[in-house]
Chain A
Amino acid sequence: MAAKADSILVTEGVSIRFGGLLALAGISLVMRPATITAIIGPNGAGKTTLFNCITGFYRPTEGRIIFRPDGRDVVLNRLPIHKIAQLGVARTYQNIRLFGQMSVLENLLVAQHHFVNHRLISGIFQTRSFRKSEAEAVEQAWFWLEFMGMEQLANQDAGTLPYGQQRRLEVARAMASRPRLICLDEPAAGLNLQESEELNQLILKLREEHGVSVLLIEHHMGVVMSISDHVVVLDHGEVISDGTTEQVQQDERVIKAYLGEEDAEELQSVTKGAG
């Protein structure tokens, strides 16, 4: 397939049914490597459900999810969660899921579990190779803390951080697991304007400096339009629009069919501001 040639993630007619509810109804999309793809849509549209299918939390009833980390196709549908993660898919959660009673830095070490020497004997006797691998992991953790501007919080318990910092730490933790694709589920939810702006800059920087592909669920239209390369609009489990930011903004279906008056106005004003 031509569309697949230059892609990191492809979904082909992904559907999932919960009892009588068809939460996803044949989602097909293609995501290019090292781009930011925003998934938008009203509450209950199926955005989080799509993330859950990609990361292995849910099994699609139909369709295929193909991940292409290094040119080869891997079908994710039947893989367990941790295998998908090991292939290079990381995520954050709409409701924060940090390891609250572990320190910030330890959270980042856990994320590197399958890169460090986790053999029992090496660890108990602290062999040289073990110490080297640990030191590297700690170094990597510091790198991501610095990236997020949280070095001074390294030894604090993750659960005691202010909300905004917890959101950042979740992104840092996902990045520490060295993903090719990172799925961010409303990373800016609950942040104030400034925090949200900073986070967006960091997400842009992630893509630019680390070549990671970003799948982003975001409600704030201004943010979506300013940082994404590609926008997918979901409604009732279906893709109702898919294209560049300009294309989506001009799509009558998006404006009329689902955004509602308020959001439509916001979208228009953003368009004016941007244009």
Chain B
Amino acid sequence: MNIPAALKDSAVASLIALALFVPMIGLVLKGQSLNIQLLRALFVVAAVFAGRMLISMLLQSGLLGRLVEVIRKVLVYLSPVVGLVERRSFRFIGLLLVVLVAVPFLPGSSNYLIQILSLTLVYVILATGLNIVVGLAGLLDLGFVAFFATGAYGYAMLAQYAGLSFWAAIPLTAGIAAAMGCLLGLPVLRMHGDYLAIVTLGFGEIIRILLVNMIDITGGPNGISVPRPTLFGLGFTRRLEEGQLGFHEFFGLPYSASHRYIFIYLLILAFTVAAIWIFKRLREMPIGRAWEALREDEIACKALGINHTTTKLSAFTLGATFGGVGGVFFAAMEGFINPSSFTFVESAIILSIVVLGGMGSIVGVILAAMGITLLPELFREFENYRMLVFGLAMVFIMIWRPGGLLKVRRKTFARGGHGG
């Protein structure tokens, strides 16, 4: 065992810790005076030294290496499973759909489960929208949450101030979100990569800050309540509005809150299927091909007669529309929204779903959305560690499959036929 090397590494780590922790926890502000408590900092530095020693020992003893080996083996066994899903993606989606439709009616289903699944589906809709912008058109958008917020608040405010119903709000809100997408697209037409990412990030924050500060209109940080959707005028709430007929009354059932959860869930499921279907079509249409061509080589794309302005704008606009619709459903399902649901972290999560799932891939995005929303719920007990595990899992997936979980399967063409 190479002790001197381990000591050297640990010394370097402690030095860094010293530089960091002396000002951070060694200096304590008390009233007007500054207290110097070096001992506290030194204690942490000692802990860093010991920790680094331990890691060196583990590395040298090969234990850590063996652990990595085991993880790799597990992943090797997982690969064929992923491959199978990749090849049979159509069947996989069909099977998943059957399961998802059946879940609310199975014994053991609960409102909690339905609520989580609804949220998962909202993420699938959002990620599908972002998949157009990032996955197909290759435009790194870090402010996608802006459209999600537009959708949610659009519905809430249209209901509150214009008295519009859920069903009337969907197309209107989608239109507003589309306009916002176009609005964001205009100034960033000439931007790429990092610059685009920063501007879109700023856009997302501007929208959130507006929501927080326009207290008179949006309710500010206190949020705003959202009416529940109805089914052909049938309400799902216990206390119905004047002249409204309840779903349970109409069908002669006893009132149950789960009716409402199931209704919204199935509604979101239907729209998710529609969103995925539209995405699949888009990918194989001229506009989808133009997006991908733009991503691959913007210059060559223009020189083939493709108007890159309208092509880019259409990607932003359509992506934003999906985001807006996702927002309407989120609001409808929560019944109450506030700006804290629309922070940058949300943009980051949606982007992670797209990147982890595989840019442009449909099944990959569904799987990643499920992973990201369902897994943390499963490990609720480990509340404090779950973000840590979550981050580690992401790192591992990106090492294991740098292109995302699933590769995009391109349409294949057969001579004489019409493709297949």
Interface residues, chain A, with chain B CB atoms under 8 Å away? 55, 57, 80-82, 85-86, 90-91, 93, 97-103, 105-106, 109-111, 113-114, 116-118, 120, 123-124, 126, 131, 134-135, 138, 141-142, 151, 154-155, 157, 173, 177
Give the 7 A-B residue pairs with the shortest CB-CB distance, closest first: A123-B285, A85-B305, A118-B286, A99-B296, A97-B300, A81-B302, A86-B305
* Contacting pair B292 A101 (CB below 8 A): yes
The answer to whether A177 touches B293 (Cβ under 8 A) is no
- Please report which residues of chain B, range 282-302, place their CB below 8 angstroms from some CB of chain A when the two chains form the complex: 282, 285-287, 289-290, 292-293, 296-297, 299-302
The contact sample of 8 A-B pairs, CB cut-off 8 A, is A55-B303, A110-B293, A110-B301, A110-B304, A151-B415, A154-B413, A173-B304, A177-B305
**Shortest distance between the CB of A4 and any CB in chain B (Å):** 25
Q: How far is the CA of A161 from the CA of B414 in the complex (A)?
A: 19
User: In the complex, are the beta carbons of A131 and B286 less than 8 A apart?
Assistant: no
Which chain A residue has the least Cβ–Cβ distance from B308?
A82
B410:A110 contact, CB within 8 angstroms: no
List, in ascending order, chain A residues with CB within 8 A of B281's CB. 123-124, 126
- CB of B384 within 8 Å of the partner chain: no
- The answer to the question of B306 belonging to the interface, with a C-beta cut-off of 8 Å to chain A, is yes
**Which listed residue, A86, A113, A134, A151, touches B290 by the CB 8 Å rule?**
A113
B32 within 8 A of A: no
With both beta carbons as reference points, the residue of chain B lying nearest to A102 in the complex is identified as B292
Within 8 Å by CB of B304, from A85, A123, A151, lies A85
Complex: A80 Cα to B305 Cα, angstroms: 10
A77 to B39, CA, bound (A): 74
> B residues within 8 A CB of A117?
286
Q: Residue on A with the closest CB to B360?
A: A101
Known: A85-B303, A102-B293. 8 other contacts (CB 8 A): A82-B303, A98-B296, A99-B300, A103-B413, A113-B304, A124-B285, A134-B418, A177-B304
Please tell me if the beta carbons of A97 and B415 are within 8 angstroms of each other in the complex. no
**Does B33 belong to the interface (CB within 8 Å)?**
no
Among the listed B290, B297, B412, which residue makes an inter-chain contact with A97, where contact means beta carbons less than 8 Å apart?
B297
Q: A99-B293, A110-B301, A123-B287 known; A155 and B418 CB under 8 Å? A: no
The distance from the CB of A130 to the nearest CB of chain B, in whole angstroms, is 8
Chain A residues within an 8 Å CB radius of B418: 131, 134-135, 138
Asked if B252 is an interface residue, CB under 8 A from chain A, the answer is: no
Contacting pair A114 B413 (CB below 8 A): no
B413, A105: Cβ atoms under 8 Å? yes
Contacts A106-B410, A113-B306, A138-B413; A100 near B287 (Cβ below 8 A): no
